[in-house]
């Protein structure tokens, strides 16, 4: 077998990225995403692409946020591993998979091969997540009408609410941030994400009971690919009242009232209460994603 050549692409040869099959339909899933040619890398053998990877970030990001497209040809799993291992971008990998991918032998084999290649390259699984996509055909869930919603302009107040929410979180990314830097770090990472989104700051909303007690927070947002549920969180003392559903419903209405024709959302598969709320609010699962942490 001839030696492997791994290199980045540019505008002149970006077409090489499309020379491999796409067995998991990642291209369709990322139809609204934009990948920079110089953030795409390929592995070639005898001039033929045998593995590829694309890193993604926002239009103003100086470095990628994650890698969300990774493929290799049949028999070239090791080439895929080498492509990941030698990358200058050591960021999280989101393996995008069809909903129910383990139920189909072809997608199961393709998914498991990518898991093996990533772990052989030193990455480790953090969490598996459901990806949702609401469209008008799903129908608008009725607002329960139990909470009062309003904007909050003070980032310090938002940070305090996020700390309270994350003190009892089930979210794997937040739990990792807490383990590494405490509640302050977890809250700050959420706030940084909210600011990173190109949607208006005045969209951020707190929710209170009619008696004025804080219930939680929801962040209707746009990421670079479109409208999304940016965050849903209930403060600890209000858990058990089903308010996450109220927050999600309000977030859905808020975005639709501002022209959203679809709404993306996600939650950890182990977060059974939030997954149940997405289902109850009519947000169907359209993908599954496995999140890997980089080798470093």
Q: Which two tokens stand for residue 254?
A: 């808020």
pLDDT, one tens digit per residue, over 45-86 is: 999 999 999 999 999 999 999 999 999 999 999 999 999 999
Name residue 207's beta-bridge partners: 149, 216
Compute the average pLDDT of residues 191-214: 98
Give the separation between CA 296 and CA 289, rounded to whole angstroms: 21
Query: Please, is 129 exposed, middle or buried when counting C-beta atoms within 10 Å of its C-beta (0-12, 13-18, 19+)?
Result: buried
Residue 285: its H or E element: strand 285-293
Whether residue 217 has pLDDT greater than 80: yes
Query: Please, is 125 exposed, middle or buried when counting C-beta atoms within 10 Å of its C-beta (0-12, 13-18, 19+)?
Result: middle
Whether residue 1 has pLDDT greater than 80: no
**Which pLDDT belongs to residue 244?**
98
pLDDT band at 2 (very low <50, low <70, confident <90, very high): confident
User: Strands across the sheet with 124-134, in order?
Assistant: 5-8, 40-45, 48-56, 66-72, 92-98, 285-293, 124-134, 263-268, 226-234, 214-223, 205-208, 148-151
pLDDT, one tens digit per residue, over 142-200 is: 999 999 999 999 999 999 999 999 999 999 999 999 999 999 999 999 999 999 999 99
Whether residue 11 has pLDDT greater than 90: no
Give the separation between CA 257 and CA 246, rounded to whole angstroms: 16
**Which pLDDT belongs to residue 45?**
95
**Which pLDDT belongs to residue 262?**
98
**Which pLDDT belongs to residue 295?**
81
Secondary structure letter of residue 220 according to DSSP? E
């Amino acid at each position: 077998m001839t030696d492997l050549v791994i290199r980045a692409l540019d505008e002149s040869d970006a077409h090489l990225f499309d020379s491999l099959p796409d067995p998991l339909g990642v291209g369709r899933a990322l139809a609204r995403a934009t990948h920079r040619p110089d953030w795409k890398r390929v592995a070639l053998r005898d001039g033929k692409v045998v593995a590829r990877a694309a890193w993604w970030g926002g239009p103003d990001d100086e470095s990628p946020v994650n890698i969300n497209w990774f493929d290799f040809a049949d028999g070239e799993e090791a080439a895929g591993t080498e492509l990941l291992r030698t990358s200058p971008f050591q960021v999280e990998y989101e393996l995008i998979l069809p909903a129910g991918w383990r139920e189909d032998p072809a997608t199961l084999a393709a998914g498991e091969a990518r898991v093996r290649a990533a772990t052989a390259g030193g990455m480790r699984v953090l969490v598996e997540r459901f990806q949702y996509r609401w469209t008008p055909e799903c129908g608008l869930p009725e607002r329960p009408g139990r909470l009062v919603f309003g904007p909050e302009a003070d980032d310090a107040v938002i940070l305090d609410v996020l700390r309270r929410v994350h003190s009892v979180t089930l979210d794997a990314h937040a739990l990792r941030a807490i383990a590494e830097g405490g509640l302050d770090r977890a809250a700050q990472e959420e706030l940084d994400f909210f600011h990173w989104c190109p949607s208006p700051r005045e969209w951020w909303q707190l929710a209170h009971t009619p008696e004025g007690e804080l219930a939680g927070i929801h962040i209707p947002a746009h990421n670079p690919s479109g409208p999304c549920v940016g965050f849903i969180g209930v403060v600890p003392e209000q858990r058990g009242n089903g308010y996450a559903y109220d927050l999600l419903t309000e977030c859905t209405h808020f975005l639709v009232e501002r022209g959203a024709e679809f709404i993306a959302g996600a939650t950890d598969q182990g977060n059974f209460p939030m997954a149940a709320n997405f289902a109850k609010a009519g947000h169907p699962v359209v993908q599954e994603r496995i999140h890997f942490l980089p080798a470093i």
